[in-house]
Structure 1
Amino acid sequence: MNIYAIRAIYKFEMARTARTLMQSILAPVLSTTLYFVVFGSAIGSRIDEVGGVSYGAFIVPGLVMLSLLTQSVTNAAFGIYFPKFTGTIFEHLSAPVSFLEIVIAYVGAAATKSVILGVIILATATLFVPLRIEHPLWMVTFLVLTAVTFSMFGFIIGIWADGFEKLQIVPLLIITPLTFLGGSFYSIDMLPPFWQKVTLFNPVVYLISGFRWSFYGIADVSVTISLIMTALFLIVCLAAIWWIFKTGWRLKS
């Protein structure tokens, strides 16, 4: 394992975050704060408790997941796309660095940024709603596992994209709608039976449900199933990345 190569790429990606602090950290935090104000305070005051939890507190895990998913995908996608755009990706491919070390560095940096953002949003949420975490270890597990998984997914998007506009297609047109429809602002038990079954095909449901359980001990689906679904998606992404580096798809052309 080439630790020096991993450290160099990781430090470079983290330094890019410091240079784009407004876009990487402040903008997502401000937008999430607006959700707290609008949904948690204005609308939440007119809604009864959900599962014994105030509505403002109930939506906190969903809002954290909304930012975590979109930022993980975006950070990882931009991180690997820029070397492709500038041509420096060929230096990585020709250097004595394995695909696993490249993935660890880029995905690790993207996941670190997302976890930091998630922690900041949680700290911000305490200013608006009474927050409790019944299972802190599981909360950290879901937070890190989700950040790593979707950073891998973003890594794939960055390799697939051949233009800056494509980097935004998946986060804006797929990830964000799935998160909104995955129980961020409601429990799927509130839906009619037919739509409850349809919603279960949304993979984000399992992430939000498991993450919310770590806070309040309530979940729309089994926590075990949530972990299995997240781990399965992680394995699929890792297999896809291995295939990309093995075949050179979108890397050597």
Structure 2
Amino acid sequence: MNGINLRGIWAIYRFEMARTLRTLWQSVATPVITTSLYFIVFGGAIGSRMETIGGVEYGAFLVPGLIMLTLLTQSISNASIGIYFPKFTGTVFELLSAPISAFELVVGYVGAAATKSVVIGIIILLTSTYFVDLRIDHPLAMVAFLLLTSITFSMLGFIIGVWAKGFEQLNFVPALLVTPLTFLGGAFYSIDMLPEPWHTVSLFNPVVYLVSGFRWSFFGVGDVSPALSLGFTAAFLILCTAVIAVIFRTGYRLKN
């Protein structure tokens, strides 16, 4: 039985990371500026008129939601663009004929996309400390949610990159589905503040479980139990893995 082709994984990972380093300033400056604006608008203008939520100051309450919003969008965007460009240029056939398995190919692309997302998430976390006093009650859980979410949605981005036939479709899911669901998923408020039936309706939004679990790791409070949040994320990871397995088994939009 042949071992894992670490050199092949490293080659793909290094190529994708090098592409990011070419736009390093943009990659770093954008989340810093965006985070600062959120704190100025939401934390300053609205937070000064709002009481604490679950015993947490509103400015600090925003931080997990801001990080999660960025993780979801960046993970999907990075992974989808990473695999779409080889399709667009035709070099995907070289990848498919190279001595590298589907597993190793996915690890390279998803690993690079998840790494970029985690780095940006950490940048947002550090930027937030200049605006609010933060505490992290469960640091191990925070890291677990950070990594699991980045990997899961990078896999979703990989699927979107394979599915997309044009650049417009690459932006379809992040712009018209993920971002609205995040804004409606308790990123900037607690769903407990919603009246019925909207509170019950919000429980069908999958992003609620991601944001709630991540916020619990910071402050020990959340809209749903952390076990349920972790279970949902793990289930979605398994689903994405199954879809990617089908893609490579059938060659869907890769070999034809």
TM surpasses 0.5 = yes
Of the candidates 94, 109, 113, which is equivalent to residue 110 of structure 1?
A: 113
How far off is 1:25 after superposition? 3.1
Further displaced range: 179-188 or 16-25: 16-25
Of the candidates 52, 64, 68, which is equivalent to residue 65 of structure 1?
A: 68
Aligned to 1:77: 80
State the SS of the aligned residue for 2:155. Answer: helix
Aligned to 2:249: 246
Of the candidates 112, 119, 132, which is equivalent to residue 129 of structure 1?
A: 132
Further displaced range: 100-109 or 38-47: 38-47
Of the candidates 165, 173, 177, which is equivalent to residue 170 of structure 1?
A: 173
1:185 aligns with 2:188: yes
How far off is 1:202 after superposition? 0.5
Provide the C-alpha distance between the structure 2 equivalents of 1:232 and 1:23, rounded to a whole number of angstroms: 34
Alignment-mate amino acid for residue 192 of structure 1: P
The superposition leaves residues 12-44 of structure 1 with CA deviations (integer Å, 9 ceiling, x where unpaired) of: 000000112244332233222211111011211
Of the candidates 225, 230, 233, which is equivalent to residue 227 of structure 1?
A: 230
Alignment-mate amino acid for residue 138 of structure 2: H
Aligned to 1:10: 13
Of the candidates 65, 86, 90, which is equivalent to residue 87 of structure 1?
A: 90
Alignment-mate amino acid for residue 179 of structure 1: T
Provide the C-alpha distance between the structure 2 equivalents of 1:26 and 1:97, rounded to a whole number of angstroms: 35
Point out 4+ residue stretches in structure 1 off by more than 6 angstroms. Answer: none
Provide the C-alpha distance between the structure 2 equivalents of 1:108 and 1:26, rounded to a whole number of angstroms: 22
How far off is 1:171 after superposition? 0.7
Provide the C-alpha distance between the structure 1 equivalents of 2:212 and 2:51, rounded to a whole number of angstroms: 20
Provide the C-alpha distance between the structure 2 equivalents of 1:68 and 1:210, rounded to a whole number of angstroms: 14
Q: 1:132, 1:216 within 8 Å by CA — same for their partners in 2? A: yes
Q: What is the Cα-based RMSD across aligned positions, in Å? A: 0.8
Alignment-mate amino acid for residue 123 of structure 2: I
Aligned to 1:218: 221
Alignment-mate amino acid for residue 206 of structure 2: P
Provide the C-alpha distance between the structure 1 equivalents of 2:163 and 2:121, rounded to a whole number of angstroms: 27
Q: 1:78, 1:167 within 8 Å by CA — same for their partners in 2? A: yes
Provide the C-alpha distance between the structure 1 equivalents of 2:161 and 2:30, rounded to a whole number of angstroms: 21
Aligned to 1:44: 47
> Structure 2-normalised TM-score?
0.97
Q: How many residues align?
A: 253
Alignment-mate amino acid for residue 142 of structure 1: F
Q: 1:80, 1:158 within 8 Å by CA — same for their partners in 2? A: yes
Provide the C-alpha distance between the structure 1 equivalents of 2:7 and 2:236, rounded to a whole number of angstroms: 29
> Structure 1-normalised TM-score?
0.98
1:209 aligns with 2:223: no
The superposition leaves residues 145-180 of structure 1 with CA deviations (integer Å, 9 ceiling, x where unpaired) of: 000000000000000011111111111111100000
Q: Percent identity?
A: 68
